[in-house]
Amino acid sequence: MLKNHIVQYRKKFGFSQDALAKKLGVSRQTIISIEKGKYSPSLPLAFELAITFETTIENLFIYEKES
């Protein structure tokens, strides 16, 4: 399972879900799904998120094996 800190970074940088989606060229539903852990972003999108939030992919996403 891929967990993430997107909500925390989004709020820290003052983005709404809609504003972040527009900046990244994806739908608001995509952002919602990523935040809820229901959708794992492509590698290019993960890099764009990291660049947007001035951090690394490793700081945004945490991989946990399912039991």
Q: What are the residue ranges spanned by the domains of the chain?
A: 2-63
User: pLDDT value at position 16?
Assistant: 98
User: pLDDT value at position 47?
Assistant: 98
pLDDT in tens, 2-24: 899 999 999 999 999 999 999 99
* Of 9, 3, 18, residue with least CA distance to 50: 9
Query: Domain 2-63: which topology?
Result: 434 Repressor (Amino-terminal Domain) (1.10.260)
10 CB neighbour count, 10 Å cutoff: 19
pLDDT in tens, 15-67: 999 999 999 999 999 999 999 999 999 999 999 999 999 999 999 999 888 77
Residues in the chain: 67
Q: CB–CB of 6/34 below 8 Å? A: yes
